[in-house]
Every structure is written in C-alpha cells, then in structure tokens.
Structure 1
Amino acid sequence: MMQRRLLLATAATLAATRGAWAQDRFPNRPMRIVVPFSAGGSTDILSRICAQLMTEGLGQPTVVDNITGAGGTLGAGRVLEAAADGYTLMAGTPGPVTINPQLLPHITYDPRRDFAPVIFVGESPAVVVVRNDSPLRSIQDLVARAKAAPGTLTYASAGIGSFAHLSGALFEWRAGVQMIHVSYRGTAPAATDIIGGRVDVMFENYPSVQGYITSGAFRTLAIGAERPSALLPGVPTVASQGVPGYVSSSWFGLFARAGAPPAALQALNAAINAGLRKPETAQRLAAMGVEPVGGTPESFGSYIAQRYAETGELIRTAHITVD
C-alpha cells in the first residue's frame, strides 16, 4: 500500500513538472508579427516568409498583422503595448526604426531603448537610376553635371524623410553637390516622372524599382552597397565611381519589445537563422532583391546603433525637416 502511494505521488510530481516545463517552454502558443505597412508590399512579404520559418522551426503558428499609418510608427507603438514576452514582434525597416524617431517630433519611443533586436533578416542596396535614354551614363557624369550647374539636377523620392530622400541627400553630402529634391507620394508617381523625363535621377531601394529596371524603363548607374552585389552583377558601387564614403542600403529585421526573455529571443533567432540557410529561402529573397544576412541579436543591435547614429548625423547635416 505504501509503495502504491509512493508511485502515485511520484507520478503526480512528474506530471506537474512536465506541465510546468511545457508552460515555460517558448513558444507554447501562437506568435504574431506586426507589419507597420500595407499588405502586399516587400515588408509584408518578407514578414510572411519569416512567419513561415518561425512556424516550421518552433512548432507554433505565426500570424501577420498589418497595422498601418504614421510612416510605420503606429505599428511600432502597437508592439510596445503588447507584453514583453517575445510573442509579438515588429517587422522593422529604416522608416520606423532609424529615420522617423529622429525626424518626427511627436514620436515618443526610442528604438534603441524600447525594442530588442531579434535578427537581421536581409539587406537590399540603394540603386541610382535614370530613365533608359538619359544622357547620364555614370556617377561621374552625374557629379560633373551637378557641379557644372549647381541646383539644376533634380532627384525624386517617395516623400520627405523617405529612404529615397535620405539616400539622395547623402549623395549630395558625400559628392559635394547641390541638387533639387522633388517629393512625391510614393515610388510609383516618382518613377512615372523619371520615365517621362520630368525628373533626372532617383536614389531608391532596389526592390522598390526592381520592376522598372527589369523592364528596361530604368538604367542603373550604380548601387549604394559597400561592395558589388550578386543581385545586380556588373553594376559598380557609388563609392568606386568617385564618391568615397557613400553607403546606402535598406534593411529588414525583426524586433521584440525590450525586456523580452533572452531565451525567447534566442529561440526566435535560431529558428529564422536556420530558415535563412535554406537555398529555397535565399532564392525567394533574391527574387525580391534582398540578400539574406542572419546572425545574432547582438550583431543586429550593433548594426542598428550604427545606422541610427549615421542617419541622425545626415538629418542634422542636411537640415532635413518635416513641416
């Protein structure tokens, strides 16, 4: 009788222990990625790829939640309202992480303090594009013309404070030239005026203009990456054509709310790193104009800190403001 009671007590203890372990194990329920932009765009598609990798690697479903508005900062704020448990992530890009917090005075969050980097998923270079029949054939041509007639060349962007705006302003700074910024409401109308010859050049994220390049409507003068990219074979870098220090690339990564358990961050990081090593994932990203990166949360955090500082310096130096 005593032995039977002992066995029953041991079994109950083991069951309770297994239940507690299952409850503490991350993840033990569905996860969510908040995308601060509309469905169908590159950020949304990359987020859905990550959601699939998380589901496959961690054994729990992952949903994508598009919360748009205020240049991506509305979605960022929604993540900060969630529990700091690693179950709610933000799809991060330069806008809501390194640009808008330094450009828009009403934003109260500091991404360096309030978010925990999870993983650097991918990077895509800025491209310097002109219409196919433009007389500008190289970066040297662009710089020479800009210096010969300051304030006459025009460059388009998807809006004040957009990636394309800052990439163009960075070119002005590094090349020592003065051009006229023409702001549009999105990349599509800007591209239309490039093709129509109403604006001279655009410094845009490669995925945003990939279709125009592929169709032959745009010609690529250079890429903003530090080194040549397999995404655009044979296209030189801006720096190699006489503009030293010019590096401009967009990036995509995942963030949790600061204070999330380190074990959760490591589990998420490991699952997505494993997925990024799969050839089929690399192929999907390459088709979108994105190079997979991966790495540790710490390395991603260092990258973000550097980009945040560089972006702030550019905004102050170029006197970029939003009226």
Structure 2
Amino acid sequence: MTTVSRRGALGILGGALCAPRLGIAQEGYPSRPIMMVVGFAAGGGTDIVARLIGAEISKDLGQQIVVENRSGASGTIAAGLVARSTPDGYTMLMGHVSANAMVPAVIPSVPYEPLTSFTPIMTVGAVPQLLTVPANSPARSVQDFIRLLRERPGKMSYASSGIGTQQHLAAELFKQATGTDMVHIPYRGSGQAVNDLIAGNVDCNFDTVPTVLPFIRAGTLRGLAVTTAKRTPVLPEMPTIAESGVAGFDVETWYMVMGPKGLPAPIVARWSAALGRALQSEELRRRLEELSTTVGGGTPADAEGLLRREIDKWAGVVKTAGIRSQ
C-alpha cells in the first residue's frame, strides 16, 4: 500500500469511528447546561427576552439555559464569542438586528461574517421603534416633523446609542425615505440619549417602544409614530410611519436564536422544535407582549431568509448614507 493510499484508508477509518461518536453525542443532547450569550447588559430588552425564552425552553430541553451577558460594541463582542465557539449546541446566541445585520455594514472588521459565521434557528420576537420628540416640540405628527426638517435642512438632530445601532440606521433610513437631513448625535447608551431628548438638546430619536413608553405616558416625551408596518397593541392609537405618508417604511428590532456555523442538523431540529413549543406558551406570549414584543416563530430557513434580507437592506442604507466607521 502506498503512503497516499495508506493515509486515505486511515482517513476513512477515522471518519467511520468519529461519525458514530458524534451521532451518539447528538442523540444524548443536551447532557449539561447550555450557555445563551447576550450582547447587551442585564435588564435590557435583549436580556429580558433571552431569560424568558431560556426559562421556557429549559423545561423542554431538560437542561438549564444559563444567560451570559457579554455587553459592548453594540453586541458584536457576544456575536464574535459565539462565532468562534464549538458547534456542539452548548453555546448559543440571542442574536440581534444591530450586531447581526447593522453594525457589520458600518464596521466590516467585526470578528465574524454576519451570515456565514452562524446557524440561524428561529426569530423569537420583534419590537417596534418609535419616532419620538420632546414634549415641547412643535411637531405633533410625522408630516409636521418632515415639514420642520425641510424648513431647517441640516439644522435638526437625532440621538442614538452609537454608530451602527438600530437608532442610528433607522434615522438614516427615515432621512433617505423623506429626502431630509439631520445631524447624528451618538451617545453611549439609550439612557443618555433619552435624557438629552427630554431636555430638548436633540430633536428626535428612534428607540424601542419599551425604552420611551414610560416617558411618553409621563408627558415628558411625545411619540409620533411606530416604525413597523403594523401598529403595536401597546399603543393602538399610535400610527405607523408608513401610514403617516412614508410609504414602505418598516423597521423592527428583532431577536433571533442562532448557533455557530456548522451546528449539526439534529441539534438545529431539537432547538427549532423546543422554541416552537415555547412560543406557544400562553404565559410566555403574555410576558413578551407586555414588553411590546411581537412573538416570532417559523423555520430555520425562515430565520436565514430574514437575516439575508436584513443584511442586504442595511448594507444599502449604509452605502447610500456614506457612513464610515470611526
């Protein structure tokens, strides 16, 4: 037997020996606690959704889901950690539109490829953003606000929690859709941005409904419209931006469970089934809806399709806006 053929035979034998072991490991999955990595601080929207989902699916999987917060860099630290992890189903990611579709368009040097470094499993929920202005703003509708922008081109400003975040790119899409101009004022987080919005130091922001709703109800901020195609049940009287005259405008902050690239099909199927059953829980649905979160669902193919579309969409917005990482 030649050296080449001997090596080939050993390779075939090795594969034959490893394949059953892998199959056995997958059949016994999960046999220990699973880490769900979240790219944002404890207590935030992504963290709360991850903990609610984790508590429900742990009953189905028979193992604890341990939420690990690795905040920073708009969620890209957590995404990079999961992208580099072993694809065995014990390190999963609560993916987020910012880290998985938006920031990579602005900062190409993120430590992962937004599509090929992950195995999408299911979109578990989505939250609308809300175009919000200070309570003393003369704008009482989207059209009022557009008129102000056109009267003061480049003079008005919008807040965000950082470059490449959901607030930043939603505002840029609004500018493109309306042919208006605003100055971007990035902050280190939503809390600082909201405080300056209340004070009138910036003219608007596009933040998630749970973030700004308490201030709208307190009368210190005014909501003009939600960013999603449909109204939110939490504020049924609030129109959408699309129905306010900006046709086709549709932005949502989605959460997607995903694993690293190469997650074996049996583990994907196990997670998909468990998540599907969890999202049918009346208690979980009620808790998510209280957070203004539209309950998700669908197949891994559906999740991958959404991820592809969102990556393309936000890359286009960033290119048109000429945004560059700093």
Same fold, judged at TM 0.5 (above): yes
**For the residues of structure 2 that align with 1:279 and 1:66, how far apart are their CA atoms?**
27
- The residue matched to 2:131 in structure 1 has which SS? strand
Q: Which amino acid aligns with 1:139?
A: V
1:109 and 2:97 matched: no
- The residue matched to 1:293 in structure 2 has which SS? strand
Deviation at 1:157, TM superposition (A): 1.2
Query: For residue 74 of structure 2, what is the aligned residue in structure 1?
Result: 71
Deviation at 1:153, TM superposition (A): 2.0
**For the residues of structure 1 that align with 2:74 and 2:195, how far apart are their CA atoms?**
22
Match of 1:207 among 210, 217, 223: 210
Check 1:21–1:165 CA distance in 2 against 1; reply closer, same or farther (3 A cut).
closer
- The residue matched to 2:255 in structure 1 has which SS? strand
Gaps of 5+ in 1: 1-16
Query: For residue 265 of structure 1, what is the aligned residue in structure 2?
Result: 268
Check whether the contact 2:146–2:178 (CA below 8 A) recurs between aligned residues: yes
Query: For residue 148 of structure 2, what is the aligned residue in structure 1?
Result: 145
Q: Which amino acid aligns with 2:295?
A: P
Q: Deviations over 1:21-78 (max 9, x none)?
A: 6872322222110112222211111111121122111111211111223322221121
Query: For residue 155 of structure 1, what is the aligned residue in structure 2?
Result: 158
**For the residues of structure 1 that align with 2:81 and 2:154, how far apart are their CA atoms?**
42
Task: Give TM-score scaled by structure 2 length.
Answer: 0.89
Query: For residue 239 of structure 1, what is the aligned residue in structure 2?
Result: 242
**For the residues of structure 2 that align with 1:78 and 1:184, how far apart are their CA atoms?**
25
Segment drifting more, 163-172 vs 183-192: 183-192
Q: How many residues align?
A: 305
Query: For residue 274 of structure 1, what is the aligned residue in structure 2?
Result: 277
RMSD: 1.8
**For the residues of structure 2 that align with 1:217 and 1:22, how far apart are their CA atoms?**
55
Q: Which amino acid aligns with 1:258?
A: K
Query: For residue 39 of structure 1, what is the aligned residue in structure 2?
Result: 42
Query: For residue 167 of structure 1, what is the aligned residue in structure 2?
Result: 170
Match of 2:320 among 306, 317, 320: 317
Check 1:277–1:103 CA distance in 2 against 1; reply closer, same or farther (3 A cut).
same
**For the residues of structure 1 that align with 2:147 and 2:60, how far apart are their CA atoms?**
52
Query: For residue 14 of structure 1, what is the aligned residue in structure 2?
Result: none
**For the residues of structure 2 that align with 1:160 and 1:80, how far apart are their CA atoms?**
22
Query: For residue 13 of structure 1, what is the aligned residue in structure 2?
Result: none
Query: For residue 137 of structure 2, what is the aligned residue in structure 1?
Result: 134
Q: Deviations over 1:119-170 (max 9, x none)?
A: 1010011110112232100001011111122112221111222211111111
Identity, in percent, stands at 34
- The residue matched to 1:91 in structure 2 has which SS? strand
Check whether the contact 1:228–1:237 (CA below 8 A) recurs between aligned residues: yes
Query: For residue 88 of structure 1, what is the aligned residue in structure 2?
Result: 91
Query: For residue 307 of structure 2, what is the aligned residue in structure 1?
Result: 304
Check whether the contact 1:207–1:290 (CA below 8 A) recurs between aligned residues: no
**For the residues of structure 1 that align with 2:127 and 2:71, how far apart are their CA atoms?**
22
**For the residues of structure 1 that align with 2:86 and 2:304, how far apart are their CA atoms?**
21
Deviation at 1:245, TM superposition (A): 2.3
Q: Which amino acid aligns with 2:67?
A: V
**For the residues of structure 1 that align with 2:146 and 2:191, how far apart are their CA atoms?**
25
1:50 and 2:76 matched: no
Q: Which amino acid aligns with 2:150?
A: K
**For the residues of structure 2 that align with 1:317 and 1:204, how far apart are their CA atoms?**
22
Query: For residue 291 of structure 2, what is the aligned residue in structure 1?
Result: 288
**For the residues of structure 2 that align with 1:241 and 1:220, how far apart are their CA atoms?**
13
**For the residues of structure 1 that align with 2:26 and 2:72, how far apart are their CA atoms?**
35
Q: Which runs of 4+ in 1 moved over 6 A?
A: none
- The residue matched to 1:113 in structure 2 has which SS? coil
- The residue matched to 1:111 in structure 2 has which SS? coil
Q: Deviations over 1:174-221 (max 9, x none)?
A: 011111222222111211121112211111122222322233322210
Check whether the contact 1:210–1:289 (CA below 8 A) recurs between aligned residues: no
**For the residues of structure 2 that align with 1:171 and 1:322, how far apart are their CA atoms?**
20
